Each structure stands twice: as C-alpha cells, then as structure tokens.
Amino acid sequence: MSIEPEKTVAAGAAFTRRHFLGVSGAALAAAVATPAMEGQTARPAGKQITSPDHHLQNEAQPGPTNPPIEGENPSSVWGPLSDNGSMPPFKYPFSLSHKEIDSGGWTRQVTVRDLAVSKEMAGVEMYLTPGGIRELHWHVQAEWAFMIRGKARITAVDPEGGKSFVNDVSAGDLWLFPGGTPHSIQGLGPEGAMFLLVFNDGTFNEFDTFLLSDYFRHTPKEVLAKNFNVAESTFDNVPSEKLYIFQSDLPRTLEEEQKQAGDSRGNVDSKFVFRPSEMKPNKVAAGGSVKIIDKAVFPATDIAAAIVTVKPGGMREMHWHPLSDEWQYYVAGKGRMTIFNAAGTARTEDFQAGDVGYVQISRAHYIENTGTEDLVFLEVFPSPLYQDLSTAQWLAHTPARLVDEHLHTGEEFLRKIAKDEAIVVPL
C-alpha cells in the first residue's frame, strides 16, 4: 500500500491542529508568535527532528491508529522531549488479563509472564460472591492483600505456635500471610469481596497453589485414615475435582468461628490483619498524603507498602528505593510516571485505576496526578522495611557549592529545598 505525499501531510496537519487545541493559550501564543520555539528539540540546534506541536513532516502519523488506546496513553504517543532510549514497558492493565471464572467468583493475574520487568513481584485481582470461598490453600510466597470493596472472612493457622486466626476485613484493610501459611478467603454479604493480592515473586501463579482438595485427593485413603486415626470411609466424599473458588453458604458469626477454631489453643486474631484507617498518615502536604505500612507498625509483614494519595496538580516527588523493586497498583484517578534509568534513558507511561506499574530497584521516578480527582495508588515492596531516597533530600544535605558545580543552579537553589522529606509535593 502506498500513501500519497499530499495525504501524508494532510493527516499530519489534521492531527497537529487537534493536538494544538489541547495546549494552553499561552503555549499556543508563544509557539505561534516565536517561530524560534519550534526549533525546540532533544537534538542540537540545526538537527530539528521533534517540535512541541508535532507539525513536522517526520512526526506525521498517517495511521492506522488506535484512538482509545492512544487517548489513554498520551505519553506513549508524544512523550516528553526529555524521554529517551528504549526502556521496556513498566505498565500492564489488569483489563488485559485473562479472567478465570468459577462458581464463587473470578480471578485474574499480572505476573512476569505478562509484564517482563516484574521479576520480583506479581499481583492478583479477585472477586468473591457473598458466600464464595477461595479454597483453603497455601503457597511458597508470602501474600500481601488490600481490600478494595465489600467484606471478607479470612482464616489461617499461624506456623509459629499453631494458633488459629479468623477475622473479617472490609474496604481499605490489609492482610499478610507469610509464605507457607495455610489460609482461606470468603466473600461476605451483601456485596461479596473485591481485593488485590501481591506476592513477593514475579513467577507466582495463582492457578498453581497447594489446594486442600487436591492434597486429599492425591493421598491414599488408607494413609488419610492412619494419619487422622479415623475410618477410611470418612474420606468417601472428598471432591473428585479441585474446588478453587466455589459457592457456599455464608459462614457462622465471627465470634462463633473464632471461639470454635481457637477452642483448645487460643487465637491470634489480629496478627495477620492491619487496618490503615486506624493510623494517621506519615505525611500530609498540600499535594497529598502517604501512609507507610511496614514491619515497624505491622510486625507480621515481610512486605512493606505505602498508600499514596496525590491531589490534582500534585506529584509524588522524585525519589528511588535502595532496598528493592516497587510494584504499584492504581486504585483511583489518573497519573503519569516517569522512570529515569542509567545510560541517559527515561520513559513516561500513563496510568489509571486498575493498572499495574513497576519500578526496578534504585531507578529514580516520580508520579504526577494528571486527572481532576485524587490519584490513589499503592507502592508495594518485597522487603520488610520501607525505604526511599528523595532527590531533594540528597541535594539538600550535600555541600551547596559541590551541587552548584554540577548543575549550575546557583547555591540559592539548595537553600530553598525543604530540609525534611516532602514525599508528596507541593508542601
């Protein structure tokens, strides 16, 4: 297929005009009034290959295009001129994942098989109907969870001391089951439970866990009889197929189940659950707020997390994490994250509720709210302790003359930086 030169120009010009209408009046006026502005480019003067309004012939997009995808990803269509190089994608929307539907609800996952960069962590979204049970099971990895909507009953047995854990969680609550801890989740009324699970291993597979039904089906009845000191016929009705996520009746009351399950040995009914609604934010600024939940406040956890709220116009400041990779889940609103990597590469991607983001260890990044509502996202780390290094704090606590010799900002710039970490800007 050939494209006539005139049509190419027309397509480029049409896109340019639409794009132009989206920029501010001041930017438009400046671009029109001073043709020199059009020379702004990532390359040295005289080798102009990009323009602020993308009107150049080499910037034409004759098509085909995918307007819904491009509309959600403006930074991929026209990234900031400071973006550079071929950094692999660090975003994967749960909307693109296969949804496995069972009688008691559904689940879908984003792992290293979907998002190649996410080697250290994987995530699962799950919905359980009122009464729907995620079968009693365990896995090698630790499970960190965030309740998005509804209510659930969670159970476990603590490997330390063998005590019973039964508790109810609702929107905003967290839980943590250490690797190897057997557990279950059941949706409660009236709307069931929608939640997020995060695992400290990118190769985790939600469809490949140790299920109680599988375990018993693949153990001889005579062994089960000997092990539990009961008749073999006790196991005549063990299901012939795995249960996984199945519909059931609602459980008994929490008090009744805690009492019955913890009868002989007692319970650890708060050990594996944490309710961020009961803690004060670690930081509140004009630009937003943050709550940090790590081993310091939630001793059972070996997965640290931050719940970040960024107000419209605000930004999670430039920073990185020296201890581990960061797995993100966007809960509400719209944002844009830029990651700076070594060798002068940088890339920007756009995010919205339901998207997963990923930042490798010690790669600098910042997240802007690009919407009109609060941006809420989770930062999750496969590390018991939360740690970040703020770019502002680095420079504020380095000799001013030394920094000026690198950046030529003037020493006054260093004196203006807040001496305490901002986390979210503006202060």
CB under 5 A: which stretch of 19-27, 228-236, 325-333, 402-410 binds Mn ion?
Answer: 325-333
* 354 contact partners, CB below 8 Å, separation of at least 6: 93, 94, 95, 330
Among 102, 114, 135, 143, binds Mn ion (CB under 5 A): 143
How far is 299 from 312, CA to CA, in rounded Å? 34
**Locus of tokens 């295009």:** 65
Partners of residue 356 on adjacent β-strands: 92, 329
Least CB distance to Mn ion at residue 225 (A) = 29
Q: Which of 269, 122, 285, 287 is nearest to 201 (CA)?
A: 122
Q: Pick the closer one to Mn ion by CB: 150 or 357.
A: 357
CB under 5 A: which stretch of 158-166, 257-265, 286-294, 323-331 binds Mn ion?
Answer: 323-331
278 is catalytic: no
Least CB distance to Mn ion at residue 139 (A) = 6
Least CB distance to Mn ion at residue 386 (A) = 10
Least CB distance to Mn ion at residue 11 (A) = 39
Burial of 397 (0-12, 13-18, 19+ CB in 10 A): exposed
Fill in the amino acid letter for 230.
Answer: V
How far is 125 from 118, CA to CA, in rounded Å? 16
CB under 5 A: which stretch of 135-143, 151-159, 229-237, 399-407 binds Mn ion?
Answer: 135-143
Q: Pick the closer one to Mn ion by CB: 12 or 105.
A: 105
Helix or strand or coil: residue 176? strand
Q: Which single residue brings its beta carbon nearest to Mn ion? A: 143
Q: Which of 125, 135, 326, 379 is catalytic?
A: 379
Binding mask 89-128 for Mn ion (x = CB under 5 A): ----------------------------------------
Virtual CA dihedral for 304, 194, 288, 403, nearest 10 degrees? 40
How far is 158 from 21, CA to CA, in rounded Å? 60
Least CB distance to Mn ion at residue 246 (A) = 15
Residue 368 binds to Mn ion (criterion: CB under 5 A)? no
Is-contact 424 376, C-beta < 8 A? no
> Residue 148: how many CA atoms within 13 Å on its side-chain side?
18
Q: How many residues bind Mn ion (CB under 5 A)?
A: 2
Q: Pick the closer one to Mn ion by CB: 53 or 143.
A: 143
Q: Which of 60, 57, 48, 52 is nearest to 26 (CA)?
A: 52
Least CB distance to Mn ion at residue 321 (A) = 6
Which residues form the interface with Mn ion (CB under 5 A)?
A: 143, 326
Catalytic residues: 379
